[in-house]
Amino acid sequence: MTTCRQRFLDALHCRPTDRPPAWFMRQAGRYLPEYRELRSTQTFMETLADAERAAEITLQPIRRFGMDAAVVFSDILVPLAAMGMGLEFESGVGPVLTPPVRDMDGVRALRDFDPDVAVAHLAETLRICRRELDSDAFASHDLGGRNAGPRGLIGFCGAPFTVASYAVEGRGSRTFEHTKKMMWTEPRTFDALLSRIVDVSLPYLAMQVACGADVLQLFDSWGGALDAATYQRAVLPHLTRLVKGARDLGVPVIVYMNGGSHLLDELLASEPSALAIDWRVVPQVASAKVGPHVALQGNMDPIVLLADAAAVRSETARTLAAFEGHPGYVFNVGSGFVPATVPENVAVALETVRG
Amino acid sequence: MTTCRQRFLDALHCRPTDRPPAWFMRQAGRYLPEYRELRSTQTFMETLADAERAAEITLQPIRRFGMDAAVVFSDILVPLAAMGMGLEFESGVGPVLTPPVRDMDGVRALRDFDPDVAVAHLAETLRICRRELDSDAFASHDLGGRNAGPRGLIGFCGAPFTVASYAVEGRGSRTFEHTKKMMWTEPRTFDALLSRIVDVSLPYLAMQVACGADVLQLFDSWGGALDAATYQRAVLPHLTRLVKGARDLGVPVIVYMNGGSHLLDELLASEPSALAIDWRVVPQVASAKVGPHVALQGNMDPIVLLADAAAVRSETARTLAAFEGHPGYVFNVGSGFVPATVPENVAVALETVRG
């Protein structure tokens, strides 16, 4: 019988699978009561630093639902903190980074770090997860008779534009005013910042693989804020270096973008193992574009999981049907779960995927 | 010599023009010191109710920069307030509508209104603008020797999905959780809400044309949050009815969407006179898709106008070149001006458009 991990890796290598593997972005999160309980006594940064607890949070959705892969509980901004930026998660605001990087001096102030030392907690979290996911507990955790065995473990980092946007804005943004202004008025500074981000991301990803990650996902959550010509000129060379370096680690590399239906050609040019797309991309169009040797992941609207079971079943089935025929496919949502996600609906979606 | 208004109308009718006409979404706004001064003593709703002042705000950017068209100072949420919803603009939050529409009773509570009575202030604002824009003051306001004469006057309303999303969420949203949940679980309620919005929008637009609007723009600012199949099924019939009704008023109708590069076919199916696109759409792709009888408007990233003059010149020129050859083209940004827009850069962009 195929193990969950093998099914996940097979799909990412565009090899045949008995059914599509499935996991969900932000599957470990606030929608789960057991997550809220574990998080209630700690700040977000404290939880990240507590490897036992971060590992338990990573495993919670697997224990409850039995997805084919776990994604390590961490944050794309961890490397910026390790480079020396102040990082706090403020309630109602989200991440706040201080001081924001606004010029070449700011870029120069970002220091290298040794991931085994600076983010030792993440290394330990991954090692615990790897051990647990390979243990008998999960091998015998047989939901529906077809998803036993070890699970995949996904490590990740942010892609260059997305990480740079947080460094420059100092927080989340809808308009990326400071980031784009830097790109247009100080292109050398912008270029140097993206280079530095890739420089530190590569050993950071290598550490994650060394500690047990089977697969890496690169989140370019906000890259879709750029037009195609600008993305190609100012960002793609950096993304390509990151993807190539990550693939050289010997694991499949998934590139994800939210709102990037206009950038499929550019993302594909970075040569990922798989492209993770949102619901704005028509699956058949993506399949034709990426061809038979690049896997696809996605792309259901996560807000479907706030609706009722009938809608979840029909939208999940619609998603599966749309990707049918693509040689490598991983079921997922097109962006991360929101806190109002209904846990019972997650089970319904997974039942539908499992046929 | 072509007047500004004629140039604008010619472009929207895909007739030849001496140069592309130009205006900017949210050209009357907080980036202008004269706007901040006029707004300093009134709330947003008070200013809308003060026709003299709203008209002056509409005309401010024309006085300073001489764009080819003015867009009436109003808000897409005005009809929801006229239907009986509470509407306040809270600092740092944006619009807040009470109570949010969450079920069929909420839809039924939305009442019809007579635009000449319920929004008499907007009618008066438009009449003042029309008179001023046709007056000698503007006919002699000759910037660069080629833009004298009366200006176009743009009326507008929100498109069905966008207005519905505010009614259902009660405020702005990134995820549209309540709106999409209604769409999937209570499709009849969702459909009834969109119908009601179109019902009241048509006389609302007719009033604007009767009071002097030359052109109508329909803002589907958030429609891009839906996948294409869902938009086509649940929204397009309502948009099409609105566009058809608006065109029956005898004026060109522009349909605008932000983040809608994946919905061009659907927007085109509503048969607008012009499609307004953002920078995520490649102009040549849009041009091939819409053909020679639908005009295009857009699509520069408005954040360019926070950069320096050199960047503004080159990005404006790149935008103009990309639309060259399309029979009807109106220069604009791809989404509204942000408050940090640099007024001097607006002048540079317009100089570049004027050649």
The CA distance from B263 to B333, in Å, is 19
Q: Give the pLDDT score at A144.
A: 54
The CA distance from A215 to A156, in Å, is 8
Q: Which of B249, B55, B73, B210 is nearest to B135 (CA)?
A: B55
Contact A235, A218 (CB under 8 A): no
Q: Give the pLDDT score at B305.
A: 98
CB contact under 8 A, B228 and A340: no
Pairing of strands B253-257, B215-220: parallel
Contact A74, A201 (CB under 8 A): no
- Identify which of B227, B307, B338 has the shortest CB distance to residue A301: B227
Q: Give the pLDDT score at B144.
A: 54
The residues of B whose Cβ lies within 8 A of any Cβ of A are: 175-177, 180-181, 184-185, 224, 226-230, 259, 261-262, 279-282, 301, 303-304, 306-308, 311, 315, 318, 338, 340
Residues in chain A: 355
Minimal Cα–Cα distance from B227 to chain A, Å? 5
Q: Give the pLDDT score at B2.
A: 86
Mutate to test the interface with B, among A179, A230, A267, A303 (most CBs of B within 10 A): A303
Please state the φ and ψ torsions of residue B186, each to the nearest 5 degrees.
-130, 65
Q: Give the pLDDT score at A346.
A: 98
The CA distance from B331 to B329, in Å, is 7
Q: Is the peptide bond before B332 cis (omega within 30 degrees of 0)?
A: no
Q: Which two tokens stand for residue B320?
A: 């103009």
Q: What's at A119, amino acid-wise? A: V
Residues in chain B: 355
Report the catalytic residues of B: 26, 30, 39, 75, 166
Q: Is B128 left (phi over 0), alpha (psi -120 to 50) or beta?
A: alpha
Give the position of tokens 């003059």.
Answer: B309
CB contact under 8 A, B280 and A308: no
Q: Give the pLDDT score at A146.
A: 47
Binding positions of B for substrate are 26-30, 75, 166, 221
The CA distance from B147 to A211, in Å, is 66
Q: In angstroms, how far is CA A153 from the centroid of its own chain?
A: 11
Question: Is the pLDDT reported for residue A17 higher than 50?
Answer: yes
The CA distance from B96 to B79, in Å, is 14
The pTM (predicted TM-score) of the whole model is 0.97
Binding positions of B are 26-30, 75, 166, 221
DSSP B163: H
Pairing of strands B86-90, B215-220: unpaired
The CA distance from A218 to A158, in Å, is 5
Q: Give the pLDDT score at A254.
A: 98
Q: Is the peptide bond before A99 cis (omega within 30 degrees of 0)?
A: yes
DSSP per-residue string spanning B58-70: HHHHHHHH--SEE
Chain B CB contacts of A177 under 8 Å are 303, 306, 338, 340
Question: pLDDT tens digits for A258-298?
Answer: 999 999 999 999 999 999 999 999 999 999 999 999 999 99
Q: Which two tokens stand for residue B282?
A: 């490649």
- Identify which of B224, B230, B301 has the shortest CB distance to residue A227: B301
Q: What ipTM was reported for this prediction?
A: 0.95
Q: Is A313 annotated as a binding residue?
A: no
Q: What's at B284, amino acid-wise? A: Q
CB contact under 8 A, B180 and A306: yes
Minimal Cα–Cα distance from B215 to chain A, Å? 28
What residue ranges define each of the domains in chain A, with the CATH number in brackets?
A: 4-354 (3.20.20.210)
In the residue annotation, A142 being an active-site residue is answered as no
Side-chain half-sphere exposure of A232, counting CA atoms within 13 A = 12
Stretch (H or E) spanning A253: strand A253-257
Give the position of tokens 């109710």.
Answer: B49
Q: Which two tokens stand for residue A275?
A: 């492209």
Question: pLDDT tens digits for A140-167?
Answer: 555 555 456 899 999 999 999 999 999 9
DSSP B47: H
Q: Which of B281, B249, B273, B280 is nearest to B327 (CA)?
A: B273
Q: Which two tokens stand for residue B4?
A: 């500004």
Q: What's at A236, amino acid-wise? A: L
Chain B CB contacts of A307 under 8 Å are 180-181, 184-185
The CA distance from B96 to B77, in Å, is 10
In the residue annotation, A204 being an active-site residue is answered as no
Give the position of tokens 């499609």.
Answer: B275
A-B Cβ pairs (cutoff 8 Å, strict): 80
Contact A195, A110 (CB under 8 A): no
Give the position of tokens 């991990």.
Answer: A5
Chain B CB contacts of A226 under 8 Å are 279, 301
User: Per-residue confidence of chain B (355 residues) as pLDDT tens digits?
Assistant: 789 999 999 999 999 999 999 999 999 999 999 999 999 999 999 999 999 999 999 999 999 999 999 999 999 999 999 999 999 998 888 999 999 999 999 999 999 999 999 999 999 999 999 999 998 777 655 555 545 689 999 999 999 999 999 999 999 999 999 999 999 999 999 999 999 999 999 999 999 999 999 999 999 999 999 999 999 999 999 999 999 999 999 999 999 999 999 999 999 999 999 999 999 999 999 999 999 999 999 999 999 999 999 999 999 999 999 999 999 999 999 999 999 999 999 999 999 999 8
Q: Give the pLDDT score at B146.
A: 47
CB contact under 8 A, B282 and A301: no
The CA distances from residue A236 to A242, A295, A312, B324, in Å, are 10, 20, 36, 27
